[in-house]
Amino acid sequence: MKKIYLVLSVLFAAGCSGSSENNSSEATNDNVKLITLAPGHFHAALVQKSMYPGVDSTVHVYAPEGSELDAHMALIEQYNSDPDNPTAWKEEVYTGSDYLEKMLKDKAGNVVVLAGNNREKINYIEKSIDAGLNVLADKPMAIDKAGFEKLKTAFEKASEKDLLLYDIMTERYEITTMLQKEFSLIKDLYGEQEKGSPDNPAVVKESVHHFFKYVSGNPLTRPAWFFDVAQQGEGIVDVNTHLVDMIQWTLFPDQAINYEQDINMLSAKRWPTTMSKAQFEEATKLSEYPEYLEKDVEGDSLKVYSNGEMNYTLKGVHAKISVIWNFQAPEGTGDTHYSIMRGSKTNLIIRQGADQGYKPLLYIEPVGGKTDAYSEALKTALQTIQSKFPNVELKENDKGWEVVIPEEYKEGHEAHFARVTEKYLEFLKDGSMPDWEVPNMIAKYYTTTAALELAKEGK
């Protein structure tokens, strides 16, 4: 069944719309036509929170009928109706039970956007690549060892067909992470990257998330499968994808990583978040657990293996990553992030706790204490930073300095989806990605899936 959602109240600038009759899978920044496949996660809609020059305003959606599709369409309509920055998407929706086969047959676009059930995602990736379609996929693209092996093959096929398979790494566009990376590249300030040890890693990243949250101002309804690690993936292979990516991206920028030679997994562990039936209902709007969740129910509570920690080395640098999922953040708080990079001269630390008002702040803390020489090096480093990020300043504190970031750089998580999409559109226009992107995506998913294997062994 096809449904066409027309936007009659909003006209968008010329150049953002175009014919959808050309079914060529070749995509440049002048003829990109999006296909949304089974949008079970709100990240699929966030790709369309903005319009993009050269991207057809008609988007073909193939999905089963149900609450997930309804939620996706509601967000698209919300963005189309935004009073300040309205979009102008027209959604042509097919809801037959053969939605996947129909999508592959129609080839109504040339870029498949994937954000939904992670167990099905690798199959969608494989089928899309086989059909000659480019893919922009939400993380994680693989949630276990078998999925990782399939992903490697998908990258090989994509290369053979001159297609671009890419995952949505929004955290590269978070300003404190960007500045942490930039300061670490200034050797007169940061010094040499410490190697660390298992007990004192040189890089640590910790992330706390919440099952019940608000998206675009509205309470988020999670699909029940989100709480089934067989479908969503465990926390150690889900959110940790971002953390692994940031470590690779900051420690070894523009360098290809060989997962077979450069990564050594040392230890990993996993543990569940326990959720009451009332909390499950609040998050999903379902009064009963689906049958596939019964395996994780103890008494009246649901146990979700959403928490995980890994310790490993990347090219000899000791790194520690952990992710924790709670049900709901306390009033006035939200998801939080902690990150430290240790150089021989400087520790670069992102904190996001109560003292920071639950907003991420970047701190520069000299290893040897404050000295006149260090202050001069910092002054010079700030000039380098300001050449790329004007108006960034420093505020001294007891341990060092806080990096004062102008509000104009603080876009927020939802806006980062547009930044990733814009970067992907650049790749499409160029016909290729930087040489390091694909090997580093492979290395990233090796890291997360290898950690899961080790954690399940109890090591």
* pLDDT tens digit sequence for 391-446: 999 999 999 999 999 999 999 889 999 999 999 999 999 999 999 999 999 999 99
Distance of CA 306 to the CA centre of its chain: 16
For residue 374, give every residue at least 6 positions away whose Cβ sits within 8 Å of its Cβ, in sequence order, or none.
345, 366, 368
Rounded-to-integer distance, Cα 51 and Cα 276, Å: 40
Sign, Cα dihedral of 433, 436, 439, 443: negative
Q: Which residues does residue 34 pair with via DSSP β-bridges, in sequence order?
A: 111
Rounded-to-integer distance, Cα 101 and Cα 79, Å: 29
- Please answer whether residues 192 and 343 qualify as being in contact, where contact means their C-beta atoms are separated by less than 8 angstroms: yes
Residue range 343-372: mean pLDDT, rounded: 94
**What CATH number has the domain spanning 2-167?**
3.40.50.720
Residue from 436, 444, 440, 458 nearest 237 by CA: 444
- What are the φ/ψ torsions at residue 414 (nearest 5 degrees)? -65, -35
pTM over 0.85: yes
Q: Cite the beta strand spans of 231-374 per DSSP E.
A: 263-275, 297-298, 301-314, 317-328, 336-342, 346-351, 361-366
Q: Of 3.60.70.12, 3.30.360.10, 3.40.50.970, 3.90.180.10, which CATH number belongs to 172-416?
A: 3.30.360.10
Assess whether pLDDT exceeds 60 at residue 234: yes
Residue range 283-300: mean pLDDT, rounded: 95
For position 213, what pLDDT does the model report? Answer: 80
- Please answer whether residues 220 and 213 qualify as being in contact, where contact means their C-beta atoms are separated by less than 8 angstroms: yes
| DSSP letter, residue 97 | T
Please report which residue ranges of 220-297 form alpha helices under DSSP H. Answer: 229-232, 240-251, 259-262, 277-284
* pLDDT tens digit sequence for 360-384: 999 999 999 999 999 999 999 999 9
Give the N- to C-terminal CA distance of the chain in Å, as an integer: 50
Residue from 252, 250, 247 nearest 312 by CA: 247
**Token output for 292:** 């596939």
**Token output for 338:** 């902690």
* pLDDT tens digit sequence for 83-121: 999 999 999 999 999 999 999 999 999 999 999 999 999
- Please answer whether residues 433 and 247 qualify as being in contact, where contact means their C-beta atoms are separated by less than 8 angstroms: no
Average pLDDT score, the chain: 92
Rounded-to-integer distance, Cα 174 and Cα 192, Å: 24
Residue range 2-22: mean pLDDT, rounded: 39
| pLDDT over 90, % of the chain | 86
Domain ranges of the chain: 2-167, 172-416
Rounded-to-integer distance, Cα 209 and Cα 326, Å: 6
* pLDDT tens digit sequence for 173-215: 999 999 999 999 999 999 999 999 999 999 999 999 899 887 7
pLDDT band for position 3 (50/70/90)? Answer: low
Distance of CA 184 to the CA centre of its chain: 22
Amino acid at 110: N
Cβ atoms within 10 Å of 325's Cβ, excluding its own: 22
Assess whether pLDDT exceeds 60 at residue 6: no
**Token output for 112:** 């498949």
Assess whether pLDDT exceeds 60 at residue 17: no
- Please answer whether residues 282 and 220 qualify as being in contact, where contact means their C-beta atoms are separated by less than 8 angstroms: no
Residue from 164, 134, 155, 125 nearest 444 by CA: 155
